[in-house]
Amino acid sequence: MNMPRTASPAPDSTMAPSSFHSRYAPDREAFRLVESMLSGRHPSAVIILGGGLNYLSKAFKASLPGSRTVLLQPSDIFDSESVEKSDFTWSPSSSQTPDTFLGQALGDGKAAGGIVVLEWPPVMQRFAEMGAFLRRTVADYLERLSSSSATTSYWARRWLRNSLRFCMGENIHATIKPGAGPIVIACAGPGLRESLPLLGKSGTSVWALASAQEALAAFGIRPDLVLATDPGHWNSLHLRQELIQRVPFALPPSASVPAALFGGEQLLVPLDTGLAFETMAIRAAGSQPVEAATAGTAAGTAISLALRATTGSVFVAGLDLAARGLRAHANPYALDSVDLAMSTRLRPEHHLRHDLIFERYPETIGSWRVSRAFKSYSSTICASGFDAGRTYRISDSPVPTMLSRMSPERAYEICSTGLQLPSIVPQGMRGDSSDRVRAFAALLVELADRLSRRAREATESGQYFATDEATSLLALAGRNAAPLIAQAARKTIQKASVDLALAGLERGLGAFLELCNA
* Residue 510 to residue 5: CA distance in whole angstroms: 57
Mean pLDDT of 441-467: 92
| CATH class name, domain 171-426 | alpha beta
Model confidence over 287-318: pLDDT tens digits? Answer: 888 999 887 788 999 999 999 999 999 999 99
- Residue 365 sits at φ, ψ, to 5 deg, of -135, 100
Specify whether the CB–CB gap between 242 and 249 falls below 8 A: yes
% the chain with pLDDT above 70: 97
- Residue 281 sits at φ, ψ, to 5 deg, of -65, -45
- Residue 50 sits at φ, ψ, to 5 deg, of 65, 50
Band of the pLDDT at 13, cuts 50, 70, 90?
Answer: very low
Mean pLDDT of 465-472: 94
Mean pLDDT of 229-240: 84
Per the confidence metrics, is the pTM higher than 0.75?
Answer: yes
Mean pLDDT of 186-199: 92
- More confident: 247 or 430: 247
Q: Does domain 13-148 match CATH 1.20.1070?
A: no
pLDDT for the residue 310: 95
Mean pLDDT of 156-178: 92
How would you list the strands of the sheet with 183-186, edge to edge? 290-291, 268-272, 249-251, 225-227, 205-209, 183-186, 314-317, 391-394, 404-405
Q: Which of 273, 297, 294, 293 has its CA nearest to residue 399?
A: 297
Residue 7 pLDDT exceeds 60: no
Band of the pLDDT at 357, cuts 50, 70, 90?
Answer: confident
* Residue 187 to residue 193: CA distance in whole angstroms: 10
Band of the pLDDT at 324, cuts 50, 70, 90?
Answer: very high
Q: Is the dihedral of CA 51, 55, 58, 63 positive or negative?
A: negative
pLDDT for the residue 5: 61
Mean pLDDT of 75-94: 91
Model confidence over 87-135: pLDDT tens digits? Answer: 999 999 999 999 999 999 999 999 999 999 999 999 999 999 999 999 9
